[in-house]
Amino acid sequence: MPPTRVLVIKPDALGDLLLATPALGQLRQGLPHAHISAVVGPWSRMIWATHPALNTLHTLEFPGFARTIGPRRRLRPYGMLLRYAAVLRRMHYDAALLFRDDHWWGAMLIALAGIPIRIGHAHPRCAPFLTHALPYDPKAHVSRQSLAVVAALLGHVASDAPPTFFDPGAAASAWAAQWCATNLTNAPFVVIHPGASGPTKAWPPERWVAVGHALASRGWRIVLSGGPDEVELARRVAAQHPPALNLAGATNIPQLAAILARAHLMIGGDTGPLHLAVSQGCPSIHLFGPSDPGRFGPWGDPARHRVVTAGLACSPCSQFQTCPRHTDPSECMQKIGVDEIVRMALDMLR
């Protein structure tokens, strides 16, 4: 008998939740009548808030992700475990799916909640708490991992996987249409996202300026995007490329998605907004340095969503704060040249 109440655990950030949406789509397709709930961090709730696969969405300040636990509160994660396990126990789930392969806290949570079917990957810290531990490959793409967890519950592997999904909604789409008509007079445009989620992932600001100049000289309008903590960086880039329109800090996630749905191309590093572009069908160029594109690269047609790396022997190192070799800027990003990105962009825009 198929499960009727299923819980999904996913503690990660914006891009990671987007990369898990193919698995959510597969789960709903396989269990059309089940009640499917998910627990995510409040920092990424908006990504799954309107997903049609979910009946209920809960938020939880996952320890280690919220970055709010100080040295005097080392026991807090375990107190939270007991409290939330008691809450989940009262919800009587038949099955729980762990969509992050190394999330031991989530694995322990669903075990303490007494959920009879618990599926994840056989990471050494997670396997003891799971009833079904799938082979663990730390190099596997995270979308394939979450799809494998769903397949283990359903008992079969789907022939094709859905794309990533995010619905901006009618209000955001109307806002984007008006903004483009007013500020771009509906001219074709490219979005550049100069920000990065860690110092070693960053490409020098002057190179974003050079790419913007090169594309603008061929008739493309340039729009800069960025979150609230990237406003100053985008302002510096815009100041050196005055024709650029700067939307950094001026949009919410749905509005940015709706802008990307109208863009001809997005260029940026390994960061969530690039996955947002993929979900909207916007072609994209992803600059990867210390992170692994085989694991976190775009989920889509590689002809439309291209990855650029410097190909250094030490990459990927997965060190996002400081280069282990003490290069600053990190050499794996510094070695990616402006001309290479411009050529690729023009090829895709053609």
User: How does residue 159 score in pLDDT terms, banded at 50, 70 and 90?
Assistant: low
pLDDT at 270: 96
pLDDT at 77: 86
Amino acid at 36: I
User: How does residue 69 score in pLDDT terms, banded at 50, 70 and 90?
Assistant: very low
Where are the CATH 3.40.50.2000 domain residues in the chain?
Answer: 5-154, 170-349
Report residue 138 as tokens.
């730390």
Q: In whole angstroms, what is the distance from residue 292 CA to residue 308 CA?
A: 11
pLDDT at 66: 63
pLDDT tens per residue across span 202-228:
999 999 999 999 999 999 999 999 999
pLDDT tens per residue across span 10-20:
999 999 999 99
Q: Minimal CA–CA distance to 62: which of 102, 23, 6, 26?
A: 102
Greatest CA span in the chain, whole angstroms?
62
- Whole-number mean pLDDT of the chain? 95
% of the chain at pLDDT higher than 90: 91
Q: Minimal CA–CA distance to 251: which of 276, 225, 232, 229?
A: 225
pLDDT at 72: 53
List C-alpha distances in Å: 311 to 85, 261, 272, 314, 334. Answer: 45, 31, 22, 9, 12
- Weakest-pLDDT range from 66-80, 100-114, 158-172: 66-80
Which class for 224: exposed (0-12), middle (13-18), buried (19 or more C-beta within 10 A)? buried
Q: Residues 195-208: what's their mean pLDDT? A: 96
The answer to whether 168 and 261 have CB atoms below 8 angstroms apart is yes
pLDDT at 205: 96
Q: In whole angstroms, what is the distance from residue 167 CA to residue 279 CA?
A: 9
Architecture category of domain 5-154 in CATH: 3-Layer(aba) Sandwich (3.40)
Q: Residues 78-85: what's their mean pLDDT? A: 94
What top-level class would CATH report for the domain 170-349?
A: alpha beta
